[in-house]
Structure 1
Amino acid sequence: MIEKAKLTDLSEIVAVIESARAYLKAQGIDQWQKSAYPAISDIRTDIENDVAYVLKVAGKVAAYGAVIAGFDPAYDLIQGAWRNDNHDYVTVHRMAVSTAFRGQALGQRFLTSVFETFSTYQDFRVDTHPDNQIMQHILTKLGFEKCGVVMFEGARWAYQKVLED
């Protein structure tokens, strides 16, 4: 189950982000390669804004994501169309899994925990790099639908999952 990140988790979270950055580079994916994003300041701001979440395995931070409830301006303009006009949804940004924990379906577990933690919401949105096939596979497996392209650190494929009552 995900839990709120604390400032004491910051160094472990940064290690997870750097591990994921190196993994993406090794896969030939330029996501997170051209800038310092996500930087330690982004993660610190997430923690201070109470939107930083971690998934721990044996007490170690294995996955991280910023989980934001409510309207996200980055998702206001989409080339394509969201499945609805709802402005009260949950967005996951900066999601990363440490390479030390790869192969344990932790990306899937992180997102499933988001659904459980934010169970009062029906609408979930995520974006990913067009070349990040692993994330696209996870999203499709969990029932997300590709809705179009948004601009968030470059062109990103936008996915949405709407839970039915």
Structure 2
Amino acid sequence: MSKYVRAATSADLPAMLATIDAGRQALAADQIPQWQGTYPATPDLQADLDADRAWVLIVDGQIAGTAALLTTPDPNYAQIYQGSWAPHTDDHYASIHRIAIASGFHGQHLADFFFSNLMTISYQQGFHQLRIDTHRLNQRMQHVITKAGFTYRGIVYMAGDAQDQRNAYQILL
């Protein structure tokens, strides 16, 4: 099996959307409200492509995963509740968003490989801390995040919405 991570291109958009839609369906099946509205959608992924922050996981020539690696501060992370971000020499961090593994590739531990590569890319770009969040009910993603070495840091709210609570995680590289 050959596998690697590369920057996404516009030609990857249909497969990226299909991967996100499969993730949306899996979350719905688990009765997790995350991604059950119009987010993420084509404009979100197109914005990631336009900003050169979209990445894909390739396995045997097929797109097996998609993620956004943001290198600008996330406004949702400005305030953290019931915890705190680990002290660091600066607030310079990258964050992972919109990560999903295509349904035909589940159970192969590819998320571990994807996370490892995203950490390496972050480090190579000069970021020594990485942040991520997931819905408090999304235990599958919480397991993947902590398995990758992230530490639970507290709670953040999406766009200040008290009804949209997420568990926040951080790793220092």
TM range (shorter): over 0.9
Quick check: 1:159 aligned with 2:169?
A: yes
Query: Quick one: which amino acid aligns to residue 18 of structure 2?
Result: A
* Runs of 5+ consecutive residues of structure 2 not aligned to the other structure: none
**C-alpha displacement of 1:138:** 1.1
Give the distance between the partners of 1:70 and 1:19, measured in 2 at CA: 28
Quick check: 1:99 aligned with 2:103?
A: yes
TM-score if structure 1 supplies the norm length?
0.93
Quick check: 1:26 aligned with 2:36?
A: no
Deviates most, 85-94 or 75-84: 85-94
Give the distance between the partners of 1:134 and 1:110, measured in 2 at CA: 15
User: Which residue matches 2:86?
Assistant: 83
Q: Is the 8 A contact 2:122 2:130 kept in 1?
A: no
Quick check: 1:63 aligned with 2:55?
A: no
User: Which residue matches 1:9?
Assistant: 12
Deviates most, 152-161 or 12-21: 152-161
Alignment of 1:29-48 (within 5 A): 29-33=32-36, 35-48=37-50
**C-alpha displacement of 1:145:** 0.8
Q: Is the 8 A contact 1:70 1:87 kept in 2?
A: no
Give the distance between the partners of 2:40 and 2:24, measured in 1 at CA: 9
Q: Hey, which bits of structure 1, 4+ residues long, moved more than 4 A? A: none
Q: Deviations over 1:101-152 (max 9, x none)?
A: 1001121111100111222322010000111111111111122111111112
Deviates most, 132-141 or 3-12: 132-141
User: Which residue matches 1:110?
Assistant: 114
TM-score if structure 2 supplies the norm length?
0.89
Compute the RMSD of aligned alpha carbons.
1.3
Quick check: 1:128 aligned with 2:138?
A: no
Number of aligned residue pairs: 162
Q: Deviations over 1:34-56 (max 9, x none)?
A: x1100111001100011001101
Give the distance between the partners of 2:73 and 2:67, measured in 1 at CA: 17
Give the distance between the partners of 2:73 and 2:26, measured in 1 at CA: 31
Give the distance between the partners of 1:4 and 1:156, measured in 2 at CA: 27
* Runs of 5+ consecutive residues of structure 1 not aligned to the other structure: none
